[in-house]
Amino acid sequence: MESVQISPEQEAVLQQLILATSVLFFLFMAWLTWLQVKVWQKNPELISQQKDLRQSVIIMAIAIGMVTLGVYCAELRFEEWPMAVGLALGLACAFVSPVSAFAFFLSLIILRPWEIFHANDLMAALPRASAILVLVVLLMRFIREKTIKFFWSRECSLLVLFIFWTWISGTQSSDPKASLDSFLDMMVRAGVVFFLVVNIIQKKEDGEFIQKVLVGGVLCLLALAIFFNHLSGTDDPGQRLAFVGMMGDPNDISAFGIMALPFALAPFWRSKSNNSGDWILTIIYSLVFLTVLITAQSRGAILSTALFIGMVFMHSAKWSRKSVLIGIITVVVALPFFQLFSSRESGDMAESQTNRMIFWKTAVRMAVKHPIMGIGFDDFPNQFDHYVVDNSGSESGKRTAHSAWLLVLAENGFVGLALFFGLFLTSLLRAVRMRQEKPEFLFAMASYGMAMTFLSHSYLMFPYLLFSLTTASFFIQQKKS
């Protein structure tokens, strides 16, 4: 592969971004380690029921952390050593329990340091290695407890059927091999994440910890995006927020911020929340998210945020009939308020709307022509030119449906859409039933569901992470009641 030549200015921006990522990742891992140690001090049996075995696990974790620190310090430059320390902390905790192992994996998947340290082979191995680590630690727990408890629910059945259907549809795509590669990389990963979450989270504390990992990880991601935008920005007030790698699009960045927003703001509706650390995190997240919302200038994100605010007011009104009217009024007021901060030119917005309508119409036409199985998994970009009627849009190259629902409909037919929407609806109904004690799940499902309407997030792992968190928390709550 030929190396990509970059200018000295771009190299300087990249180096500053690498340093910022190193420091933020270290702080994030240190915070998670502190939270975990506090939990283990109160509940040492979470590590092991046997004291001798518990001590052995801790010693092994410390040894693994020290080895990791030495390996990455030798690989990275001195100023990047905070990343090495962060990885050592995360990996050491990961060996103690499955929840910690998944927290380490989720942190890496959100921040994606291998897309920033792009020339580092050890960084490139992190996603696969951390996923294997979660499975190994979970297996160790099964062996230690001498029992295997496998969680299953309606959501699990729908997910398995949807994954199977996407695989079948991919066999009839224009390039079955490429479709299979994408299937293994995307859908299998999403399914593994879902089943890991519902099997690892066994207590209320487990779910709350993973939620904090989600909030902290997304907060670091948003902060890095703002920093990168500051480094590489211009004097143009219409310059939209941008980042690197998979999270490079401003619409995607703001959508991930919306998904974690309800969990970050949970202290506002939890009357028993007196933890000052939670309130500090809430305030910081709110300020960073508002900055991203203004600089990303995403209409879908603005609409989703307005919906979230409306639902918060509905919750404060105890979900009464009047609360629906209150929610509608809130959305109507919030939308133009956020639009005041938009500096996008009318021509740019009209162009974007035209492109999106072309993509949506093309997706519907694909589904009409292939109503049962669609055109094939991950084949929308390849088949676009064969089904588009009005190609007067400004975009070219590999295009997508810009809607999670329509992308599934186009590529997997009405059967695939029914399975995907059924999974979403089942999770949403679980959230509705938890709305009194844990309204953040309903807020997240509704607002992120709205964001997905304008984004092709059908096969990313993040929707399935939200579905699995909602499912696991629902069944934990049912056990208590």
Q: What confidence score (pLDDT) does residue 4 get?
A: 42
Residues with Cβ < 8 Å from 64, sequence gap 6 or more? Answer: 91, 92, 95
Instruction: Write down the residue that tokens 């990275």 correspond to.
Output: 76
Cα dihedral sign, 242-246-249-253? negative
Q: Which letter, b or e, does each residue of 219-234 get, where b requires 16 or more Cβ atoms within 10 Å of its Cβ?
A: bbbbbbbbbbbeebee
Quick check: 30 pLDDT over 80?
yes
Q: What confidence score (pLDDT) does residue 3 get?
A: 41
Which of the pair, 356 or 234, is modelled with greater confidence? Answer: 356
Provide, rounded to the nearest whole percent, the portion of the chain with pLDDT above 70: 86
Rounded mean pLDDT, 30-47 = 83
**How many residues belong to the chain?**
481
In angstroms, how far is CA 319 from the centroid of its own chain? 28
Q: Which two tokens stand for residue 392?
A: 């007067």
Q: What confidence score (pLDDT) does residue 13 get?
A: 81
Across all residues in the chain, what is the average pLDDT? 85
Q: Smallest Cα–Cα separation from 218: which of 252, 245, 267?
A: 252
Q: What confidence score (pLDDT) does residue 2 get?
A: 37
| Neighbour count for residue 132 (Cβ, 10 Å) | 11
Which of the pair, 235 or 64, is modelled with greater confidence? Answer: 64
| pLDDT classification of 346: cutoffs 50, 70, 90 | low
| Neighbour count for residue 23 (Cβ, 10 Å) | 16
Quick check: 137 pLDDT over 70?
yes
**159-163, 224-228, 248-252, 329-333: the lowest-pLDDT one:** 329-333
Overall pTM surpassing 0.95 (yes/no): no
Quick check: 142 pLDDT over 80?
no
Q: What confidence score (pLDDT) does residue 404 get?
A: 94
Find the helix packing angle between 176-200 and 98-111, rounded to 10°. Answer: 140
pLDDT, tens digit, 9 for 90 and up, residues 249-291: 888 999 999 999 999 998 888 766 567 778 899 999 999 999 9
Rounded mean pLDDT, 80-103 = 91
Q: What confidence score (pLDDT) does residue 401 get?
A: 86
Provide, rounded to the nearest whole percent, the portion of the chain with pLDDT above 90: 44
pLDDT, tens digit, 9 for 90 and up, residues 438-449: 999 999 999 999
